[in-house]
Every structure is written in C-alpha cells, then in structure tokens.
Chains A and B, each alone.
Chain A
Amino acid sequence: MRTDYRPNRRRAMLVAATMLTALGLGGGHAASAAEKPLVIARDFDFNSLDPARAWCDSCQIYLTNTYQTLVRLAADNHTLLPGLAQKWESNADQTQFTFHLDPQAVFSDGSPIEAKDVKWSWQRLHNIKGGPSFMMDGVKSIETPDAHTVVVNMDNPNSEFLGILTASYTGVVNSDVAMAHGANDHADADKTDTAEAWFLAHSAGSGPYVLADYKPDDEVRFKANPHYTATKVGISEVVMKNTKDAVAQAQMLENGSADVAMQIDPDTAKSLPADKVTTEIVPSFNFVYVALSPGAKANKVKLTKQVREAFADALDYKGIIQFTVGGAGKPQPAPIPNGFPGTANLPVPHQDLAKARELLKAAGHPDGFSIDALFPNMNVYGVDLSLLMQKVQQDVARVGIKVNLQPVEFSVWRSHISGDGIPLTAVFYAPDYYGSGQYVQYFAMSEGTAWWKRAGGKVDPSITNPAEGKLLQKALASPESAKDGVYHQIALDMINDKIIMPLVSPSLVLAYGKSITGVRYSACCNLPIDEISRK
C-alpha cells in the first residue's frame, strides 16, 4: 500500500510540461526512507524559544523536548514522576520543598546539571517578567546546600508547586552557557538580559533533543541529544513544519510528507483514509467558555444573579457541542477541566427554557433584553468562536435575549476586556500543568483574580465571593489526599457564580502515519516527541 509521496521524473515531466511552460523541468527529491526525520505538521504560535519568555502551545512542545524539568507528568496526566529530581519532599504545611537532583544528569554539552543551574533558571524565569514568570510567584528563596540539592521556600503554602514544576517553562537551563550569551538572573533581568536572540538559534538544556535550526513561521529542526539517557529516543531527527490549515495538515499526512498532526478538526479527520493514517480522538483539558461581566460599561441591563442564571439555563449545551465540534467534545461543568482535582461528580449543565423564562420574569425582564457580545474571531482547538456565538445567540433568543455579535481580533478583544469590560464574551483556556489552583486563581470571584477584575468586581461587588479565595488557601495548604474535596467545593461555588460558563471541552484529534507509534497528548507538555518512534 502506498503511503508516501514518491516523485519520479516521468510524472514530474508531465506536470511541468502541462503546468509550467517556462519551468519545463520536474522531478523530486526526498530523504532516504531509512532514518527518515519525523515531521510534525503544526500551525505555529511561537513567540519565543527562550524558556523564560516563551508562552504558547508550540512553545510547550519545543521546551519539553529540549529542556528537562525536575518533576515530570506521567502518561495518565496526573501522576508526578521524577525528572531531573530523583526524589523530593515537602514540609507539612507545603511551604518548603526539597529536591535531590540526579547526580548523573548532564546538559547537552556534557556538563553536569547542578543545583546552581536550577536556582539560576527559576530566578531568571521570575525576573524576566515574561509570559510564564507567574509560575515562580510566591517563591521566597531558593537555597542550594550542595551541588545536587535544591530547597525552595514559599511565602505561603502551595501544594501545587510540584505540579507547576512539570510545566516545560520551568525547565533547567545551562546557566554557564546562557550567561556567556547575555542571560542573567538578576532582579533587573527584564532590562538587562539580552539572550533572547541567542535562544532563537540555540538550546541550552538537557532534554531528549537539541535545537538544530529555527526558521520563524517555517520550521523547527531538532537533533537527538547525544548525552540524554533518561529515556530511549526513538527518532534522531525531528522537524516541526508550520502548516496553518487543518486541511493542509491532513493532506500532508495522507501523502506522507508529514507523520504527525494534532490540530485537525474532527470533521476533517473523518476524511483521512484509515489505511494510511491512524486517528485517535482523545479528551483534552482545553475548554471554551462564555463569560458575563456585570461590571461592563456597555451593559444595557444589570446582570444580576437571576439574569445570569437565566442566561445559563437558556443555553443548549448538548446542541452546542454537536454544532461546534460535531459531537467530538465533552460538557464541562466548572471552569476547571474534567479530570482535574475536584471535578468528579460535578452537576452537568443542561438547558431549561421554562426556568430561564421564569428567572427573567422575576428579574423584571419578561420580554428579555439586549446584550453586546465581543469575542475573538478565531478558531481555537477546533472550535470556531463565531460559529459558537451564533449558536449561543440562537439559544438565548428563545427566551428573548438578543445578542449583538461583534467578532474582533484577539489583540483588540484583549484591550476591551481589560478596559471597559465586555458584557458577554467567548474565549478559551488551556492548562499549563496538572493542578486546579491555577483555574481558581484565574476564574474565581475572589477579589483580585483575573476574571473578578474583568467581570467588574470593583463596579459590582455583588459578584465577589470571598469564600473561594479562602478555600483556595486551604487547598494549597492541604496534603494531596485532602485537596480534592476542597477543590470540589470551589468548583461548585464557581458554577454558582454564573460568570464563567464552560460550553465545550473539545476532543483532540491525534493523527499520525501508520508507521508511527507513541503519539500522546500531555496536559503539561502537549506532545512528548521522545516517546514517538517508527514501527
């Protein structure tokens, strides 16, 4: 069975003769079948390759495969495994963590990985003040009593710190090499660190691969790290190829010019021939939600709790999943991904039009009301937000709520949401690591969180729920065994807020050639390439 594109001179001559009079030559050139590089077709969203500045899904893949973290996330997406740290312990109140590094671990240049590198990398991560710098928030001090021991002291209890350390941004950088190229970990690193350009052409980690070449908007080439021994690397050369369009990704898989793609939507995946491409549809931890902001200036009516409940009850949750991703998704009750701590047995939302009408009547809007919806005009994780909002518009129109849709560019949406606020919006969230605390810090209605500000907590204090903040503190101070119950209570509170309404957790399509094995989705790292091999 033919799965690869194999050009030959006769075909090429025919094509060239018929299509390109002036370019009357043809043919082709492909790499030898043996030791073929692995090609991953992906829509690039890189904004840097510097671990302290990068912040994107593609960045997660790049960093996971070029840098190692102290703690790894197992394939079950919740168990923590040793990484560069062979073992660790924490004190009872989760304010001190001690890590014992693998004394055999070395960077890609063969030099040993020491505690000073860990301290330097994390201090730099914090001081650069880049996208992922918040991961080191709350770290009071880092001590290195010997070359292979790292002690982290926190300002406050943080039982999620180990989970945070699975995030690829916390990967350990070879400090000597990076400093030689302008990097530093000083308090003013945001102004004085000049290494970002160097990181665009070099990696300085200990991961399974090293950066061989990076062409922005085109490709990233990896070569196997000869000093990496933690796992057996299946493929020695990997190319991530920028392929914007999901259909083009599918075509590349089909003709053999790509081996792996994970951004193909379920509809396109159905067209892939089963004899050439394996497709797996797996649950993801990403989700798309709508949010109501009672404090937004453009509100035409007061978005009271009753009004918000009515809005939530008017939504056809099942229909939305069917309409946006053809059923390839799951409902998500709370703004914490399914499967994360505290999410078991949460009440699944459902449409109740009669209740919605009653609530509107009780709120003084028996004929409904009008609301402006401004949202990013983008397709994210297979969900077209414009399509989604059209469905929302249809659903709530059944109880008299008229939604005025205004799709805008993401950067424009961002300045609105942090400016005057947006009455109704739709947006998305993807995890950076396994742990529910990040969602509470972002979505809860306790004072100071991102969504408390966006929803207008200062203008309309009625949305504030201080209990969520207190419960979060309790969860962060709890041992592993007690966390779930606390997060469950927070999730119930967040559902009850009726500010954030998750609509769909879209499934992820993992598509790969028949000769490929070991492709999986990771909550912290997207795609661990070192686990992939050819059969």
Chain B
Amino acid sequence: MKRFILRRLVAMPFLVLGIVTAAFLISHATQGDPLISVLGDRQMDNPEVVAAAKARWGLDRPLPEQYLVYVRNLLTGDLGISIRTKQPVTRDLLVRLPATLELVIAAMIVGSGIGIALGVLAARFRDRPFDHFSRLFALIGSSLPVFWSGLILLFIFSVKVHWIPGPGRLDARTTPPDFVTGFYTVDSLIAGDFGKFLDALHHLALPALVLGWAVMGIISRMVRASMLDVLSQDYILAARARGAREARVLFHHALRNALIPTLTIIGFSFAYLITGAVLTETIFSWPGVGSYAVNAARNLDYPAIMGVTIVGGLAFLITNLITDIAYALADPRIDMK
C-alpha cells in the first residue's frame, strides 16, 4: 500500500506539469485579448496604452518565454497576479476554495446521505412504490438543470414561504467572520458567534440541496444496482437464515459490499463539483472557484485560468488517490500493487 501511494505521489508533479502545459497552450491559442478587461474597449485603440498594458502583464514577451517564466514562478508557489481581480491568484483561490469546499462538502453529505439511503431502500423494496418514487426523484435531480431548479427553489423557499434566505453565504448585512478556515460555518463557531453560524448554515442549506440533488440520483441508482446484486448473494441468505434482523442485513452485511463501486462515483463527483459547481455558485451568488473559473475564462485571464486548472487537476488527482485507498480499505481483496 505504501509503495502504491508513493508511486502515485511521485507521478503527481509530472501529471501537473502536463496539465499546466496543456492549459497554457490551449488558453494562449484562443483568439481574444485579455487586455480588454483591463483597459476597456475605447483604450484598446490606443497603441501607447496597449503597449504599456502588455508590458505590465508580460504579454509583450514571446510565448515560450512566458511559459518558462510561468513554470519558474510556479515552482516557487507563485501562480501570478489575476489580470481581472488584480490580486495574487493564490490568494484568490485561497479565499474562494473554502467557499466551494464548504458548499461541495455539504452537497456531498446531502447527496451521498440521501442517495445511499434511497438506494438501499429502493433495492429492499424493489418494484414497489418506494422504488418507483426514488427512481423518479433521482431522475428529476439528475435531469433538471441546476440554474432552473435553483431559481425555482429560491423562489418558492425564499420569496414565497420565507423559509430560506436569499443568495449569498451570509445575510448581506452581516459582516463575515474572521478568516481562519474560510468555512463560514466553522469560522463563526471558532469566533463563538452562534447566530452567524446559524445564518451561514441556513444560507448553505438550499444550494447544498440543489447541488446534492444532482449527484444524489447517480449515487442512489448505483447503490440500488449494487445492493440488488449483493442481496442475491448466498451469504445474505445465510445471514437471514441465521435470523439476523433486516436492518442489520441491509446496512451491515449488504451495504458495505455494495458501497465499493459507489465510492468511485462519490470520489469523482466530489472532484467534479469542486470545479463544476459554477451554475449553483452563480444562482446563489456563492463566491467560489466555479464562478471564478468562468469569469477567468470569459475574460481570458491567463493566470487565473492556469490557477484554476492546476487546482482542478490536483483535486482530481488527489480524490482519485483517496478513492483508490478507500477502495482498498473497503475491500481487502483489492491488490494495491
């Protein structure tokens, strides 16, 4: 196991370099001029102003030189300055990543928790009304575009029945807690401000549900299929013959084995949501990495595009590794060599 992890860790920097090179080439090959977001349309016709801006952002240098400078800075942990926000990209990401992680973790808790429960019960009550209901629920969650379900649920729960606050991570009139982890729920607890904690939690509920619903469907269907497979095994029959209670059979004997393929889905969903939560972040005015990525792409903000790509790539690599390890822990028969 140790050798496997070490091998993966050693390969990681090379994979990151590949991602960096591909992202650099693709973003710079795109037709477009990032200086429009710095100077505005009018000044783009002023050669003196454009030349000054190019020099400031290093865009006057040959592309290979720009690449080498970027990689050299990257080795020292410097991701550059965002052309759009004018802040160091590292700082931008450090501020936004906790917002996205808080949302994605909450969404994964909702999606996995409810998805697994639905999957287990759907398998147990196969072809009965609950199974049909869970299938429909999963189908709706997976099919509805997040921008639509988000707006509709906001309208119902925020505007009409006032159960949920509006968009944002906190009430707009509330000052955010001091930055410790960047998770407002955690930071407000650290600050001892329980009111702010409840406000943060309350704001988190709906976007987490909307985002979690999208992955809930896949997880519940995957668990159902695996559970049906496992429930037909002899050892389940044996457990029942020994008089084990049904809940124990389902959750202790069957679910543990049925969860193994689901772990992969959960792992990939997590990595996907870190960079893919953009629509939810937009609808709920959630200042996370997803919306940062979209703004970076739209404005051709090269340093930000590169930064997000590296973070996204790392997220996939790390979650992949964790998933493989979890896989091995869940099923000792899997050989990690």
Do A and B interact?
yes
Residues of B contacting A219 in the complex (Cβ-Cβ under 8 angstroms): 172
- Bound together, the chains give a CA A25 to CA B86 distance in angstroms of 38
B291 interface residue (CB < 8 Å to A): yes
B56 interface residue (CB < 8 Å to A): yes
- Mask: chain B, 270-297; 1 = CB below 8 Å from A; 0 = not: 0000000000001111010001100100
Q: How far is the CB of A529 from chain B (nearest CB, A)?
A: 15
A239 interface residue (CB < 8 Å to B): yes
B303 interface residue (CB < 8 Å to A): no
Instruction: Please state if B162 and A11 are interface contacts (CB–CB under 8 Å).
Output: yes
- Bound together, the chains give a CA A528 to CA B204 distance in angstroms of 33
Residues of B contacting A215 in the complex (Cβ-Cβ under 8 angstroms): 95, 176, 287
Residues of B contacting A213 in the complex (Cβ-Cβ under 8 angstroms): 175
Instruction: Please state if A26 and B202 are interface contacts (CB–CB under 8 Å).
Output: yes
- Bound together, the chains give a CA A219 to CA B176 distance in angstroms of 11
A243 interface residue (CB < 8 Å to B): yes
- Which of A347-355, A408-416, A502-510 contacts the other chain? A408-416
A318 interface residue (CB < 8 Å to B): no
Instruction: Please state if A5 and B165 are interface contacts (CB–CB under 8 Å).
Output: yes
A217 interface residue (CB < 8 Å to B): yes
Residues of B contacting A180 in the complex (Cβ-Cβ under 8 angstroms): none
Contact pick for B287, options A14, A26, A218, CB 8 Å: A218
Instruction: Please state if A5 and B198 are interface contacts (CB–CB under 8 Å).
Output: no
Nearest CB to that of A24 among chain B residues?
Answer: B201
- Bound together, the chains give a CA A53 to CA B174 distance in angstroms of 30
Q: How far is the CB of A510 from chain B (nearest CB, A)?
A: 19
Contact pick for B209, options A19, A415, A416, CB 8 Å: A19
A306 interface residue (CB < 8 Å to B): no
Instruction: Please state if B174 and A217 are interface contacts (CB–CB under 8 Å).
Output: no
Residues of B contacting A36 in the complex (Cβ-Cβ under 8 angstroms): 173
Q: How far is the CB of B317 from chain A (nearest CB, A)?
A: 26
Interface size counted on chain B using CB atoms at 8 A: 76
Given contacts A31-B174, A215-B287, is CB(A21)–CB(B113) below 8 Å?
Answer: yes
Instruction: Please state if A20 and B43 are interface contacts (CB–CB under 8 Å).
Output: no
- Mask: chain A, 408-439; 1 = CB below 8 Å from B; 0 = not: 01111011101000000001000000000000
A116 interface residue (CB < 8 Å to B): no
Pair count A-B, CB < 8 A:
219
B196 interface residue (CB < 8 Å to A): yes
Instruction: Please state if B109 and A130 are interface contacts (CB–CB under 8 Å).
Output: no
- Bound together, the chains give a CA A16 to CA B200 distance in angstroms of 13
A210 interface residue (CB < 8 Å to B): no
A393 interface residue (CB < 8 Å to B): no
Most A CB within 10 A of own CB, among B106, B110, B175: B175
- Bound together, the chains give a CA A215 to CA B170 distance in angstroms of 14
Instruction: Please state if A26 and B167 are interface contacts (CB–CB under 8 Å).
Output: no
Given contacts A134-B43, A191-B55, A442-B42, is CB(A29)–CB(B196) below 8 Å?
Answer: yes
- Which of B30-38, B232-240, B243-251 contacts the other chain? B30-38
A15 interface residue (CB < 8 Å to B): yes
Residues of B contacting A61 in the complex (Cβ-Cβ under 8 angstroms): none
Residues of B contacting A394 in the complex (Cβ-Cβ under 8 angstroms): none
A1 interface residue (CB < 8 Å to B): no
Residues of A contacting B208 in the complex (Cβ-Cβ under 8 angstroms): 20, 23
- Bound together, the chains give a CA A418 to CA B206 distance in angstroms of 45
B217 interface residue (CB < 8 Å to A): no
A48 interface residue (CB < 8 Å to B): yes
Residues of A contacting B167 in the complex (Cβ-Cβ under 8 angstroms): 243, 248, 251-252, 257
- Which residues of chain A from 231 to 274 have a CB within 8 Å of any chain B CB? 239, 241-245, 247-248, 251-252, 254-255, 257-258
Contact pick for B173, options A20, A39, A190, A217, CB 8 Å: A39
Residues of B contacting A453 in the complex (Cβ-Cβ under 8 angstroms): 45
- Mask: chain B, 100-113; 1 = CB below 8 Å from A; 0 = not: 00000010011001
Instruction: Please state if B282 and A19 are interface contacts (CB–CB under 8 Å).
Output: no
Nearest CB to that of B83 among chain A residues?
Answer: A47
Interface residue tally of chain A, by bracket?
Answer: 35 or more
Instruction: Please state if A5 and B166 are interface contacts (CB–CB under 8 Å).
Output: yes
- Bound together, the chains give a CA A380 to CA B17 distance in angstroms of 39
Instruction: Please state if A411 and B37 are interface contacts (CB–CB under 8 Å).
Output: yes
- Bound together, the chains give a CA A41 to CA B171 distance in angstroms of 12
Given contacts A219-B172, A416-B31, is CB(A131)–CB(B39) below 8 Å?
Answer: yes
- Bound together, the chains give a CA A257 to CA B86 distance in angstroms of 29
Residues of B contacting A418 in the complex (Cβ-Cβ under 8 angstroms): 44-45
- Mask: chain B, 7-37; 1 = CB below 8 Å from A; 0 = not: 0000000000000000000000011111011
Contact pick for A258, options B48, B92, B163, B166, CB 8 Å: B166
Given contacts A26-B202, A26-B205, is CB(A255)–CB(B162) below 8 Å?
Answer: yes
A27 interface residue (CB < 8 Å to B): yes
- Bound together, the chains give a CA A27 to CA B43 distance in angstroms of 50
Residues of A contacting B45 in the complex (Cβ-Cβ under 8 angstroms): 418, 450, 453
B53 interface residue (CB < 8 Å to A): yes
Instruction: Please state if B158 and A251 are interface contacts (CB–CB under 8 Å).
Output: yes
Nearest CB to that of B213 among chain A residues?
Answer: A19
Chain B interface secondary structure, helix, strand, loop or mixed? Answer: helix
Residues of B contacting A30 in the complex (Cβ-Cβ under 8 angstroms): 171, 173-174, 199
Instruction: Please state if A7 and B285 are interface contacts (CB–CB under 8 Å).
Output: no
- Which residues of chain A from 45 to 103 have a CB within 8 Å of any chain B CB? 47-48, 53, 55-56
- Which residues of chain B from 190 to 229 have a CB within 8 Å of any chain A CB? 195-196, 198-199, 201-202, 204-206, 208-209
Instruction: Please state if B41 and A414 are interface contacts (CB–CB under 8 Å).
Output: yes
Residues of A contacting B291 in the complex (Cβ-Cβ under 8 angstroms): 217, 244
Given contacts A23-B208, A28-B198, is CB(A414)–CB(B36) below 8 Å?
Answer: yes
Residues of A contacting B181 in the complex (Cβ-Cβ under 8 angstroms): none
- Bound together, the chains give a CA A11 to CA B198 distance in angstroms of 12
Given contacts A31-B174, A251-B154, is CB(A22)–CB(B41) below 8 Å?
Answer: no
Nearest CB to that of A189 among chain B residues?
Answer: B52
Contact pick for A129, options B30, B52, B162, B283, CB 8 Å: B52
Q: How far is the CB of A5 from chain B (nearest CB, A)?
A: 5
Contact pick for B163, options A15, A37, A247, CB 8 Å: A15
Residues of A contacting B306 in the complex (Cβ-Cβ under 8 angstroms): none
- Bound together, the chains give a CA A248 to CA B148 distance in angstroms of 12
Instruction: Please state if A29 and B41 are interface contacts (CB–CB under 8 Å).
Output: no
- Bound together, the chains give a CA A28 to CA B195 distance in angstroms of 7
- Bound together, the chains give a CA A22 to CA B116 distance in angstroms of 13
A185 interface residue (CB < 8 Å to B): no
B87 interface residue (CB < 8 Å to A): yes
Nearest CB to that of B203 among chain A residues?
Answer: A28
In the complex, 29 of the A-B residue pairs with CB atoms within 8 angstroms, ordered by the A residue number, are: A7-B199, A11-B163, A14-B163, A15-B202, A15-B205, A20-B106, A20-B110, A20-B208, A25-B198, A27-B198, A29-B174, A29-B199, A30-B171, A31-B171, A47-B84, A131-B40, A134-B42, A134-B46, A191-B52, A216-B92, A217-B291, A244-B282, A244-B285, A245-B282, A248-B285, A251-B151, A251-B167, A257-B165, A414-B36
Give residues in B with beta carbon < 8 Å to A. 30-34, 36-46, 48-49, 52-53, 55-56, 84-87, 92, 95-96, 106, 109-110, 113-114, 151, 154-155, 157-159, 162-168, 170-176, 195-196, 198-199, 201-202, 204-206, 208-209, 282-285, 287, 291-292, 295, 298-300
What 3 A-B pairs are tightest by C-beta distance, nearest first?
A: A27-B198, A29-B199, A411-B32
Given contacts A258-B166, A412-B32, A418-B44, 11 further A-B contacts (CB under 8 A): A22-B110, A28-B165, A30-B199, A131-B39, A197-B86, A216-B92, A241-B285, A255-B162, A411-B298, A411-B300, A414-B41
